Amino acid sequence: MLRASVSDSKPNQRELADAIRLAVLIENLVDAFVSSNLSGLKQARKAVLSEYGWAYLVDICAVVGAFEMMTRLADATGAKLRQEQLEAAIPIRSELGLDKFTSARLW
Amino acid sequence: MDGVAQQSLMRDDLVVAHAEVWERVTNSGTYWNGAQRRAIAIVVLSSLGDDIKLPPWTSNVRSEKIFLDAEVLNDDTIDAIYRISVNASTLTEDWYRRIIARGLHPLAFVELVGVVVAVSGVHGFYQSIGIQLPPIPDSKMGELCVGGPSVEAANLNWVLVAVPADSNAAVVQALSAVPAAWDLVSQILASHYIPVKEMGNLNWNRGRLTRVQMETIASRLSEARECFY
């Protein structure tokens, strides 16, 4: 889904700067959430709240919820990328080790 | 700030969407009645809240995990719900074929997935933000909403999809055989992430997170969940 939705993305400088600024906080929050690290999650929320405020935390957690849904949707229905998408993703697949996932449906 | 105060600061569209999702989850669907759909939701929430999650090769039913209010579902269904909720990235086509061979109608499976993932999405929001999940209402009596599109096998999914197969991205067509299931998911996508019709607009946002920031969250979570797609 991610690749499908951003395959033509050309982020501008403001978006890149914002993404980089928030990336560590997001990483901490998502990792704590996925690993059920409740104290880490509490700290991660606090960090987002203090730097960005409640409305940002709501928006971030909303996207977390959306992808809790979409990852399960993709994996429960056997969603596959098209061949051209798989080929376009070869560099990132290799770099991140994605082909080792059980969910890697490579045709 | 307590949970009630925080909830009062929530975006209205999220509050409305979650109430509607709970309403739809507890009403009769196409293949599952309201009591069964509510039970599916209860099993999802119990599974996600399970302190000691079972590995994917273990049956939660054989492990004698008890799910309250799930007596309207059979053991195979409860096992499937648990596996999708807790170990989705380990699912295989063989697993899906076994579920169907054991008697679950292929389109009932599609609807089941719709309920499981919708509940997982709402749960994910409340769990990550640290507010108590609104209680699931009682189920409603009602007739099954029979009917639906013609379906066929797809190359991009192992589930049956509406014809013509493979004309949309795999996640978009995944629930197309049961349109109400995709409507439910679309509603959550619109309030949590991006309306489906805006997916191609890379500048779409709500005025806070940019699209790039949203995709940062999405990619990090997808990677942590080992979702290749």
3-state secondary structure chain A: CHHHHHCCCCCCHHHHHHHHHHHHHHHHHHHHHHCCCHHHHHHHHHHHHHHHCHHHHHHHHHHHHHHHHHHHHHHHCCCCCCHHHHHHCHHHHHHHCHHHCCCCCCC
Q: Please give the mean pLDDT across all residues of chain B.
A: 91
**pLDDT score recorded for residue B65:** 67
Angle at A72 between CA B68 and CA B3, to 5 degrees: 60
Chain A residues whose CB is inside 8 A of the B226 CB are 101-103
In this model, does residue A18 exceed pLDDT 70?
A: no
- The CA distance from B206 to B190, in Å, is 11
**pLDDT score recorded for residue B200:** 87
For residue A1, give the nearest of A83, A85, A64 by alpha carbon: A85
Determine the average pLDDT of the residues in A35-50.
Answer: 95
**pLDDT score recorded for residue B92:** 95
- Greater pLDDT, A100 or A76: A76
With a pLDDT cut of 70, the percent of chain B lying above it is: 92
The residue among B93, B109, B128 with the most chain A CBs within 10 A of its CB, best to mutate, is B128
Sorting pLDDT into bands at 50, 70 and 90, what band is B3?
A: low
Q: Phi and psi of B152, rounded to 5°?
A: -155, 165
Contact check, Cβ <8 Å, A74/B229: yes
Which pTM value belongs to this model?
0.90
The residue among B93, B203, B221, B222 with the most chain A CBs within 10 A of its CB, best to mutate, is B221
Determine the average pLDDT of the residues in A56-68.
Answer: 97
- The CA distance from B60 to B78, in Å, is 8
Sorting pLDDT into bands at 50, 70 and 90, what band is A9?
A: low
**pLDDT score recorded for residue A7:** 47
B151 DSSP β-pair partners: B162
What's the length of chain B?
A: 229
- Which chain A residues in 31-70 lie under 8 Å from chain B, judged by CB atoms? 31, 33-35, 41-42, 45, 54-70
CA pseudo-torsion sign B27, A59, A11, A23? negative
Nearest CB partner across the interface for B121, out of A15, A34, A68:
A68
- Which chain B residues in 31-90 lie under 8 Å from chain A, judged by CB atoms? 84-85, 88-90
- The CA distance from B219 to B227, in Å, is 9
Sorting pLDDT into bands at 50, 70 and 90, what band is B60?
A: low
In this model, does residue A17 exceed pLDDT 90?
A: no
- The CA distance from B157 to A77, in Å, is 6
Sorting pLDDT into bands at 50, 70 and 90, what band is B58?
A: confident
The predicted complex's ipTM stands at: 0.93
- The CA distance from B122 to B187, in Å, is 11
Q: Quick: pLDDT tens for B68-121.
A: 667 899 999 999 999 999 999 999 999 999 999 999 999 999 999 999 999 999
Q: Quick: pLDDT tens for A76-96.
A: 999 999 999 999 989 888 888
Instruction: Supply B43's token pair.
Output: 């099993």
Chain A touched by B169 (CB under 8 Å): yes
| Inter-chain contacts counted by CB atoms under 8 A, chains A and B | 244
Q: Quick: pLDDT tens for B137-194.
A: 999 988 898 889 999 999 999 999 999 999 999 999 999 999 999 999 999 999 999 9
Q: Write the burial class of residue A46 (CB in 10 Å: 0-12 exposed, 13-18 middle, 19+ buried).
A: exposed
Residue in B with minimal Cα distance to A86: B229
- The CA distance from A18 to A11, in Å, is 11
The residue among A34, A67, A84 with the most chain B CBs within 10 A of its CB, best to mutate, is A67
Q: Write the burial class of residue B225 (CB in 10 Å: 0-12 exposed, 13-18 middle, 19+ buried).
A: buried
Q: Quick: pLDDT tens for B18-53.
A: 999 999 999 999 999 999 999 999 999 999 988 777
> Contact at 8 Å (CB) between A77 and B157?
yes
Nearest CB partner across the interface for B171, out of A9, A27, A79:
A79
Nearest CB partner across the interface for B227, out of A4, A71, A82:
A71
Nearest CB partner across the interface for A65, out of B124, B220, B225:
B124
Nearest CB partner across the interface for B215, out of A2, A58, A64:
A2
- The CA distance from B78 to B93, in Å, is 18
Chain B touched by A86 (CB under 8 Å): no
**pLDDT score recorded for residue A13:** 80
B162 DSSP β-pair partners: B151
Chain B residues whose CB is inside 8 A of the A104 CB are 228
> Contact at 8 Å (CB) between A71 and B90?
no
**pLDDT score recorded for residue B7:** 60
In this model, does residue A1 exceed pLDDT 60?
A: no
Chain A residues whose CB is inside 8 A of the B120 CB are 68-69, 72
**pLDDT score recorded for residue A35:** 92
For residue B198, give the nearest of B182, B217, B211 by alpha carbon: B211
**pLDDT score recorded for residue B128:** 97
Helix residue ranges per DSSP H, chain B: 3-8, 12-25, 34-48, 75-87, 93-101, 106-129, 170-173, 179-192, 211-224
Nearest CB partner across the interface for B221, out of A62, A64, A105:
A64
Contact check, Cβ <8 Å, A80/B127: no
With a pLDDT cut of 90, the percent of chain B lying above it is: 72
For residue B152, the SS3 value is strand
